[in-house]
Structure 1
Amino acid sequence: MFRSLLFLSLSAGLVHAEAPPRPLVPIMGWSSWNHFRVKIDETIIRGQADAMAANGMKEVGYRFVNIDDGFFGGRDAKGNLLYDDGKFPSGMKDLATYIHGKGLKAGIYSDVGADTCGSQYDKDQKGFGSGLFGHEEQDLKLMLKDWGFDFIKIDWCGGRKQKLKEQESYTKLSKTIRSIRPDVVYNVCRWQYPGDWVKDVADSWRISSDINARFDSIMAIVDKCEPLWPHSGPGHFNDMDMLQVGRGMKPEEDRAHFTMWCIMDSPLLAGNDLRSMSKETLEILTNKEVIALNQDPLAYQARRLRDDGDLEFWAKPLGKIDGGDVAVVLLNRSDKSADIAFDLSAAGIDPAAGYALRDLWKHETQTGLKDATLRREVPAHGVVALRIKGKPAAANPFAK
């Protein structure tokens, strides 16, 4: 499913294919919810855009600056959606224009139902009645066309409260969004895998309840997402939620978290304050070699090929299913460092033909290897991430 891409080239004398309206690889960016929840304002959002454009994140692919819940100002007497002009005195259109001026894209938020999640859980009184219900076309036209936002996350708190039908509601919203602007990236935030129908409706979809900055929360989401790999592919991705890198976990846990989101093709939306993060956090978020696994055009979600309790062996093909270019991640969930070994043939590589090995966190390369089995020490709550290039093994572990 979704495993092949057709690349047509004028230079090759073939018919030129139009560029897809939306990205075929997971989006990268930042979102306000994890760090700020509803306590956002114009200064905060502009500051994130400024930081992303200047600190190296933009250069490695981060583009979206997404405003989550907390910007609403209720509705006027005619039902027109308002923004909070105390928080956003320059207005939402001006803010989107500012973000665009940095060479970035702007994202926005709403809910299927009448009330937003912030109104229910964060006592944001202005979120009551600010959801899309009953104002779908009116609000989406305002946010996506008049204000100019390029991404929209649509939550389910109001929809759940009103007992709406999720497939019917999200499908209707998809049709409206595509009619207004086909290029807008649409995220369904239902807090569980919605069902196979969603791949024809949205660009990405949440598969779990909200993430927390704890290693057990990270691992729980990994486990929920792993069996969903057949539903992921170019332009359609399982969303494992916003990143918690730089929000209180240990560095090894942050590296493990970021690596798993990358190999499992989740959208990469930083959830920390970009204005004040440490050098170490920035280095994790901008590791180009790990990001390359996430942005690979094959868009094959990594699979857990062996589970030895707390010690796991994951892999995914890159470029082609049988191209001899494979990413391997060794994951240690335990509280102590441990050795993890794997056979090259189990990763789809023929060791007898020789292969090259790249450690993506140490940035070290070995060539001319022929060992049939590799063994690495993996730190507690950590990973070892490898990229292996060689001749494909006779048996392909990634074929369906």
Structure 2
Amino acid sequence: MPPLRTLLAFALALTLLTLAPAAASTLWVPPADPLLASLVTRGGAPAAALLALDDGGARYAGAGKGIARADHFRAGSVTKTFVATVVLQLAAEHRLSLSDTVEDHLPGLVRGAGNDGRALTLRDLLAHTSGLHDFTSDTGGTVPVTPRQALRIALTHPPADLGRFSYSNTNYVLLGLIVEQVTGRSYAAEAERRLIAPLGLTDTSFPGSRTSLPSPHGRAYTADGTDVTVLDPRVAGAAGELVSTLADLDRFYGALLGGDLLSPRWLREMLDTRAAHGAYGMGLYPERLPCGLTVWGHNGRIAGSYVRVAATVDGRRVLAFRVNTDTIASPGLEPALLAAEFCPHTSWNGRAAREAPVPRHPFE
């Protein structure tokens, strides 16, 4: 029989568990999580973190040094989901139409090298089927530019085929200009008013030209180890300016896919991938996992940061993970991590993670 002291300790532990508040549903996963740790050991990141959210609460894990749950970080092209949501809300209000041309809102702006705004619709921009050249291919995503400067860079190149999916940050820079033309306010102000404030995303912001991150935050590094924590967000603008946290991104994607921001009709539009031949919806893209489940979300890459958010189509389960560098050296780790989270009965060991297919979406 166990000694009396052991029995008393066990009884006390049971009592404390009984008295714990119901809200304390967060399960803290040890940093030794093997797949997350692989982002450091094989992926080459100084540190990595994830936050998963479902009906049971939140689960956090971190690996490496210098990263914390509450950190602010640059979210890169996750910005596109916010901008697309604003555009679709404006369409729902009949303030614009997805069949409008760029010329309808910005007459004469898109001209040159075979590009013609009269032939491009807002749907083309949202789905990356406009053929517009990606301005960051020229700037490397490191040169701060105004939206019109970014557009001028893109328009020195001939377009790809209209109607063919070709991911381009220029599309969303143009959408930012169109939001401003339609509303009289910047895309950042509209996103704040329509999305950030209503959802209480108190740690999410559009920094404009502010080069510092809000506190708390860790450090950010390029693949060669250069510290780029201080960065001018105008390198990306409406295509990748956002600063956020894991918790805020989980909340946003859960609310979006849960129907809190768009009506069923417009959410169906957002998830319709036919224009991009299955590759992309509007600010979201699907990924089919080995267990047959399709998750929806976006990734973001900007100097010093890579983030991926994925959620079930009903928004009830969301995963956000990040590394504090802009490149994962072993790309197969990302689909392995998604499968481990959303396909609990799928076995993912070290070999599976190494052999997982490279994602089809090298988005930035």
Coarse TM-score class (shorter-chain normalised): under 0.3
Q: TM-score, normalised by structure 1?
A: 0.24
Q: Greater helix share, 1 or 2?
A: 2
Larger strand proportion of the pair = 1
Q: Which structure exhibits the higher relative contact order, with contacts defined as CA atoms closer than 8 Å and separated by 6 or more residues?
A: 2
Q: Could you state the TM-score of these two structures normalised by the residue count of structure 2? A: 0.26
